[in-house]
Each structure stands twice: as structure tokens, then as C-alpha cells.
Structure 1
Amino acid sequence: MSQSQPSYHPAPSASSVTLPRLSCDTHCHVFGPQSRFPYPEGVAFRPADAPKERLFALHDMFGIERCVIVQSGCHGYDNSAMLEAMAARPGRYLGIALVPIDVADATLADLAAHGVRGVRFNFMPHLEVGASAQDIVAFSHRLADYGMHLQIHLAPQLIAETGAILAAAATPVVIDHMGRIDAAAGPDQEPFCALMDLMENEKFLVKVSGSERASARGVPYDDAVPFARRLVETYPDRVFWGTDWPHPNLAGGPPDDGVLVDLIARIAPDPAHLRALMVDNPQRFYRFED
């Protein structure tokens, strides 16, 4: 893709939702700036810069005080841009890295010391698959030594098969974006049923992010809300929320993040569920130290 591809909404709207203190965005990215953090050759997508300053401004606007930055595939295994953003807000911003499964122990130790809490693997058609599910399970034993977990981004048709293998992991397993389900297929669709079955195993956790990706109707993404709400109500202590800013590889361009924040009130209308989703679950699982 061209480096001129839009990276984020230029003027997100104000949200009507007042978030609890210490609310956390558990899934977002930083891209570049490429003048300091150039993309490696051969990456699948090359978005325009989405630097930490824009991310910080977005969070400040919505009252989001904590964050987990997820390393993006466009930067490959060079986690430098993510680490720099984390260091700019120490203790409040943590990370999820991309590493090869043959990464040195010294590198894992260094990442953990700098606030990296997990490693992400992709099973999506548009992204490079870093390892097989079986190899990832074996690798999870090394992650456990450093207090890290697995984060998995997988296509919906792979939830049942891949999830069954990952159940043997030595660490918790976080599923991205509600398993990338398609809201148009309805609540009885096989991928969502597989996700609900997977969540019966307490090893698994899920991010109720990506409503803008799941929706078939577009703004305000009403058709995606019931899926997220059901996950929150059924597994209230194992759910997280995230913006997915700046929304890479999203058809139609970046969404208005104010609209996505507004959805939180409908995803978690119960005050106890809201606090668990936005504050308590991230605090417990990611171990914020601020």
C-alpha cells in the first residue's frame, strides 16, 4: 500500500461517555514517524505516520489514562517505535511486541523489563503468519518465564481449530477484536459460537474491540454491539476494550473514535461491568505500575 494511506481520523468527535478514572485502551498502535522508525523492506502495508503525540492527544481528549500499545506488522520485529511511546508515559503505557519464536532470552528479558506484557501472533490472510499454532504453544513456555502472555489475531473461520491447539499454552491467551466475527452472519454463526465455547476455558480472554470491523451496517455500528455486550455480560472478568487506533487496513478509511467511545456505554451499560472492562481487568491482567 502507498505510504499516503490515511492513518487516523483527523478530527474525532467528542464523546458523550464519561469514562471511569484510570480507564485503559488495551489495543492501539503507533506508526513511525518513518523519518526515525522506517518500515523494513517487503512489509505488507505501509501506512502514513501515526505517531505517539497523536495517540496521546486522543487519549487525553477522552480521559483514557492507561494504554497497551500493540506492535504493528508494518514495523516488523523492530519494536522501537512502540517502546519509545511507552517510555514517554512510563508505567501508564505498556506494550505487546512482535518477535520471532527463536528470539533470544536476553531480548525477552529486556522487553519485559521495559513494560512489554505479551507477544502477538497473526493468523489473518493479509498479515504474515509468524509461526504455527503448535510452535506458538511451545514458545509460550518461554514467555511464561518472563510474565508474558500470548495475544492472537485470527480469522473467524480459524477460531475453533486454532483455539483448540492454543488451549495447551502455558500462558493466558488474549483473542483480538472478538475473533473478527462478521456481525451480518448473526449471533448463531459458527465463529461466534466457537468463540463463546473457547471462552468457557478460563485461559482465554477477549478484546471487545473492532466493532467498526465487525459491522456490516456502518456508523454507528449497531449490529456489532450485541456481540460485544454478550461477551461482557457472560465473561465480565476476562474482557478488555480498545480503540484499535489508528485503525490500519480498514476498508472505507479510519472511523471517528468518538463514535467508538460512545459505544462503550452500550457494550457495558452496567456500572460494575463498565468498571471491570475499562479499569479493573486491565489493571489486574497487565499489571500497571503507576
Structure 2
Amino acid sequence: MTSQHRLRFFPIMLFASVMGLAGVSIAMTYFEQANGFQPMISWLFFFIACLLFLINGGIFIYRFVRYKEDVINEFNHPVKMNFFGAISISLLLISVPLLNYHSNLSFIIWLIGVLFQLILTLNVLSKLIWKHYFQIQAFNATWFIPLVGNIVVPLAGVEHVSMSINWIFFSIGILFSIIYMTVFIYRVYFHPAFPEPLKPSFFILLAPPGIGFSSYMRLAGEIDGFAWLLYGIAFYLGLLFLIQFKRFFTGKFFISWWAYLFPSAAVTNATYMLYRETNEQLYLYIFQIQSIGLIFLSLFLIWKTIELIRKRKLCIPGPERNSN
């Protein structure tokens, strides 16, 4: 199989790597601030995230031109369609570190992300309302991704546009996060277990309360009962998943394991913001541990993905694709 033909099967879910590493770059900025380090680690992760976005984006455009039907089929797939949301979330996250260095560029990237997010959200919700070929068995936490993007908007948006616009995006994200959480719990309790590649999607449950806390703090400007509610949910879910470490990190590696990273980064960032608001040392200690864990998780995922590429198992058709 030629390299060009392999690109036909390039996984759209690899955009989750950009989303995750961009989230880690923000966490590393906080880590450097907390420890008095120079901004080196954060910019390294930011550079890798931008590089991966350009690579993934270029391949995506090539696939859309060369294999348009494949891309359309992915957009209609009950799992793969949700990873299109990782594109807009990646743009929204990339715009955050640029705020203090290049505000105009941050605004342009943020605006593109917002427009893509708006179109995607309306399209996905319309499809779910009027298309009835989706079944409850196909529901999983990846369905959160297109809607979580709305919660990410205020992170940089509060510096670019009026608060009212940011509140609108935040509100729709929170609303459907609650709805999806209810459906997800029903799916998990009363239907067969997820297949192995979808196990990492459990971690996506951390993203709405985790990133929701950070965005809410940017909007409200102070910690209140709702902020504590969001952080409490994120912390408790994180603890629940942590004690089941072996269930998540054993067996074959799938490219879907990148779903572990962004939600973990979201909770880590929320912990730092909570420490900054309360000045309680406990949250600083938790943040330090979470940050170190993020670094190791990022390096592990990068290494395993490079192994897939080296073994030429990243871009292949069939049930064994994207696994190692």
C-alpha cells in the first residue's frame, strides 16, 4: 500500500492528540508559574500541538479533496463524527496561550474555532433530531466532544468579544452536557459494556465539569457554589477513574487512548485555578501531582503513537486499525 493510499485511512480521532497537548500546554504554563520556572515546557507542548494540528489538518484537507466520500461517511458515523469537534476545540485551546503574546493572532484562531464550533453543533444536533438511524447502543462519551467545545469558548473568548456571547456558548455546552451525562449513565448501567477501543471514552466525562469550571471562573470572576459543584464533580469522577487504573491502561493500545489526555488536563487546570482563588496549599499539592502525571501520560501516548506509525498500523483499514 502506497503512502498516499494509506492517508485514505488516516484516523480523524487523532485530532484528540492536538486537543490534549494544547490542554497540557496550558497546564504547563500554570505549572511553571507555580514553581517559578521559565516558560519552556509549556511552549514545547504548545509547539508540538500546533505542529500536529498542521499535519492533521493538511491530511484532513487532502482526504476531503481526494476521498470526499470517506470523510462524509465518517461524519455520519455514530462515533467518528464526534471527533470533528476535536478540530474546533483544538483551535479554541491553541488561541489561549497566544493571548499574552499575540492577541490578534489569538483572536483570528479563536474566531475560526468558534465559527466551526457553531456550525458543527447545529449540524450534529439537527442530525440527532431528524436522523433516526442512531441507536442507544452506539451512544458513548465521544458524543460529548462536539458540545464540550462550546464550554471551551470563554477561555479566550472573554478577552475577544462581549461576555453575553461567551455566556451563550457556555450555557448550551452545560445544558447538553447534563443531558448527555444522563443518557450515558443509562447506557452504562443497562446495556452491554463498551468495546475495548471505547474504554478511554469514560475519561471524557471529566471534560464538561473540568473545563466548565475554568470557563465559569473566567466568566464569573469568582468562586461560588456553582463553581464548587463543577469542581467537585470533576474531582470525584477523576478519583473514580484513578482507582480503576488497571481497567483503562491494560490491553492493546488504540489511538483512542488520546481521549485520556484532554479531560485529565482540564481537571488539572481547574485545580490550579481553584488554588489561585482559595490559596489553600492542598490544591497546590494536588495540582503538582496532576501536572507530573500529565507529563508522563503525554510522553507515553506520543511514544505509543510513534510505535503505531513505525509499524505502519496507524493508517490501515479494518477492525485492527489504530491498535498496538
- TM-score band, normalised by shorter chain: 0.3 to 0.5
Between Structure 1 and Structure 2, which shows a larger proportion of helix residues?
2
TM-score by length of 1: 0.32
TM-score by length of 2: 0.30
Higher alpha-carbon Rg: 2
